[in-house]
Chains A and B, each alone.
Chain A
């Protein structure tokens, strides 16, 4: 039962509950018009304490497409937070007006605090470098929809695997499904944190390898999840120059990939995927953004208990 629940952590929902959301997402994709009024009379509050065009638009579009309405703020200076109001007080006030709330906050754990004081469902839309569970739902729905299953994939994760919260959530989530293997492609400085390796991969006997260059593993991958490698993350310029091209996906590298491999990216991209890959049907990152809206529609509908 998802009605009235919060979504704070990527692992808050069971596999069965995730399946419920994905099934509803599919129904919405197949017949979006049939869901155009299910949230009529309902109000979504978007509490964005830091800027985020993409995620906020995605939530607002989701609610509007369900027939609901949206109130909120998109930066803290326009809210009572600038007067020093606590998250606990803000959510208790907002809960008097709205039926469901979405929160993005630069401080890790802020949506968790909100959920502890809230009488309405709270969705974490990103808390610092910590969690971004609806991106994880987006990624899984995209994989489920395009590849037809969430099991037995070889998943390449490329770029900044150390600080990328979407990468950590994806590994945790996909580790729950049978037969998935991980190929972790990053410079040494940006490898996956030890706790993910020990607590998720090794503890659960999940197959994984770590490599430095994407070219070495391209032909083995079913899914390639790209993230941006930032110059300032490198300890020395020499390593950056030596490795930077390895983390830019272009047409040449795509030639080595399987014909049914898919490329995903949480967006926004900077230069890590060449525009030429956009023309390749295997480049699925814009479709992924659309799946993000559908899965948020399903999530809102489920937490409000209207579907």
Chain B
């Protein structure tokens, strides 16, 4: 079993669906930071079978909306002085703007590039979002 030391002050992004860790790591720009970070992939998980984990040795601002969209299974632990101060469960947001694009080629957003890409949550379990403009259902999350 691979061992990564626990962190003193920072954030643990846990229960990432196996394989999604890289996407989140890259989205957060963690490859460019100068503090310690760890991406651990394919860890055994009772809940998920396999999961990915990201550990960040720093308290940073996180856009929970986007993380919830990428993977709603994620949990966030905020660690201070080696003690977990807060545990957050992510949910899919009711409304998202300019995070995802409509996949419907007939949608006006395919040609009108400056309008806000707005989506509304239809079903949190299935990760279905409806486009504000064309009503096309776009499935997100995993």
Residues of A within 8 A of B (CB): 86-88, 105-110, 112-113, 116, 127-130, 195
Contact = CB atoms under 8 A, between A and B. Distances in A.
A87 B137 CA distance: 23
Given A107-B107, A108-B106, A109-B107, A88 B112 contact: yes
Interface of B: 104, 106-112, 114-115, 131-137
B112 A112 contact: no
A106 B107 CA distance: 9
A118 B41 CA distance: 50
A113 B115 contact: yes
20 contacts: A88-B112, A88-B115, A107-B106, A107-B112, A108-B106, A108-B108, A108-B133, A108-B134, A108-B136, A109-B107, A109-B108, A109-B132, A110-B112, A112-B132, A112-B133, A116-B115, A127-B108, A129-B106, A130-B106, A130-B135
A107 B108 contact: yes
A107 B106 CA distance: 5
Contacts of A195: 137
B114 A88 contact: yes
Contacts of B115: 88, 113, 116
A125 to B, nearest CB: 15
B117 to A, nearest CB: 11
B107 to A, nearest CB: 5
A108 B132 contact: no
Contacts of B106: 106-108, 128-130
